[in-house]
Amino acid sequence: MNVDGKRWRTIWLGDDGWSVEIIDQTRLPHAFTVVRLTTLEDAARAIRDMQVRGAPLIGATAAYGLALAMRADASDAHLKEAYAVLALTRPTAVNLRWALDRVRGVLASRPAHARAETAYAEAARIADEDVATNEAIGKFGFDLIRDVARLRAGMPVHILTHCNAGWLATVDWGTATAPIYMAHDAGIPVHVWVDETRPRNQGAALTAWELGHHGVPHTVIVDNAGGHLMQRGLVDMVIVGSDRTTATGDVGNKIGTYLKALAAHDNGVPFYVALPSSTIDFSISDGLKQIPIEERGGDEVAWISGATEQGDVARVRLVPEGTYVANYAFDVTPARLVSRLITERGVIPATREAIARAFPERVVAS
Ligand code: MRU
């Protein structure tokens, strides 16, 4: 997408043709910085420290991480070690394992001297497919927004989103934001309510940044405002992304998503989940029991960072010293609260049957 008139993806190969470059998302919105990854450990750290984040981008970065590892040492032992290192970086987004399995799968039959080239090619395919997939999600989601716009007779369609499921969370387009960008670009008036998304503020820092750079009207709200806005008829639809969705349609996503789904349900507001099929974990069917929920360090809750009036970035403590803090990063929204899934193969009910019909080749025997 566009940043000051220049087109960017979130991950690409450097001019040397082998290093991997990313946008450091921990520094946004205050600084736009490109970071060069040259080793397996660089890639693992970028995912672990959330310089890259968002399920699809985590997957693409992990794929390139395996390529960097194979460039250094293409032995079976190193492939095994690199897979393990990357797989342990973050637990919830299933795209990570999906991408690692895909690259490892194509490497298995390759001789050591050809492995690096094969891994780079597969990582590039994963990245390109992510862009095409999100574009397809955008086209299907566009129809939903256009239908509401027809009823609004020129008034903006108000869409609430949580966390950042924008182009920064993917290779390009985003999942939840793809339909929004397409509607905006087609001249449909849209306005986005952006949940700030504590504790890491992906909404306030990242979604607001990217929507702003694309010129999409938006307003940042505190995480607790969504229900109030829905009660007053100020939300036409909710669109969120997902980090892992079960074969039965339970949606794992950023902490707080479940509460938005409850409020949407209570107020008759459609609750859509936009996701590529790489985010569906076909091996599990009970989200509450089987989606691993990442618990992160308490400092993310106890401290907050932002720009001072002087323009420096500062970090300040929010809670009394010594206070016990819990930091659950994701929650699970049961399928019954999901109006529809917006996938690259269409808008489908969040049910085992509909998911299996849309992606028959991915179904695994239970
Ligand atoms: O912890 P993060 O920032 O990696 O979590 C990402 C999210 O939860 C996104 O909102 C999302 O919907 C999944 S990525 C499209």
Is 243 catalytic? The answer is yes
pLDDT tens by residue, 282-306? 999 999 999 999 999 999 999 999 9
**For the CA of 329, the nearest atom of ligand 1:** 1
Helix axes 40-48, 55-72, angle to 10 degrees: 160
What pLDDT sits at residue 5?
Answer: 84
Ligand 1 pocket check for 273: Cβ under 6 Å? no
Q: Would you tell me how many other CB atoms lie within 10 Å of the CB of residue 310?
A: 6
Q: What is the CATH number of domain 137-362?
A: 3.40.50.10470
pLDDT band at 219 (very low <50, low <70, confident <90, very high): very high
Backbone angles phi, psi at 206, to 5 degrees: -105, -50
pLDDT tens by residue, 126-153? 999 999 999 999 999 999 999 999 999 8
**How far is ligand 1, taken at its centre, from the CA of residue 331, in Å?**
11
Looking at residues 166-195, what average pLDDT do you find? 98
- Pocket test residue of 53, 95, 163, 332 for ligand 1, highest count of atoms within 8 A of CB: 163
Query: Is residue 366 scored above 70 in pLDDT?
Result: no
Query: Is residue 270 scored above 70 in pLDDT?
Result: yes
What pLDDT sits at residue 263?
Answer: 98
What pLDDT sits at residue 144?
Answer: 98
- Pocket test residue of 22, 53, 181, 194 for ligand 1, highest count of atoms within 8 A of CB: 53
Of 42, 243, 281, 331, which one is the catalytic site residue?
243
What pLDDT sits at residue 4?
Answer: 83
Ligand 1 pocket check for 55: Cβ under 6 Å? yes
> In the chain, which ranges are continuous DSSP H helix?
40-48, 55-72, 76-87, 95-107, 112-152, 177-185, 208-214, 226-231, 257-267, 287-290, 299-302, 352-358
Sorted by where each begins, the domain ranges of the chain are 2-129, 137-362
**For the CA of 57, the nearest atom of ligand 1:** 14
Spatial distance between the Cα atoms of 358 and 345, rounded to a whole number of angstroms: 7
pLDDT tens by residue, 335-353? 999 999 999 999 999 999 9
244-246/313-317 β-pairing? unpaired
**How far is ligand 1, taken at its centre, from the CA of residue 121, in Å?**
26
Spatial distance between the Cα atoms of 122 and 216, rounded to a whole number of angstroms: 34
Do 2-129 and 137-362 fold alike per CATH? no
**How far is ligand 1, taken at its centre, from the CA of residue 55, in Å?**
6
Looking at residues 2-25, what average pLDDT do you find? 95
0.75 surpassed by pTM: yes
**Topology of the domain covering 2-129:** Four Helix Bundle (Hemerythrin (Met), subunit A) (1.20.120)
pLDDT, averaged across the chain: 97
Amino acid at 44: A
Work out the percent of the chain whose per-residue pLDDT is above 90: 97
Looking at residues 74-82, what average pLDDT do you find? 97
**For the CA of 53, the nearest atom of ligand 1:** 4
Query: Is residue 210 scored above 70 in pLDDT?
Result: yes
Ligand 1 pocket check for 257: Cβ under 6 Å? no
- Pocket test residue of 160, 202, 271 for ligand 1, highest count of atoms within 8 A of CB: 202
**For the CA of 175, the nearest atom of ligand 1:** 15
**How far is ligand 1, taken at its centre, from the CA of residue 108, in Å?**
30
User: Residue 6 contacts by C-beta under 8 Å, 6 or more apart in sequence?
Assistant: none
What pLDDT sits at residue 2?
Answer: 82
Work out the percent of the chain whose per-residue pLDDT is above 70: 100
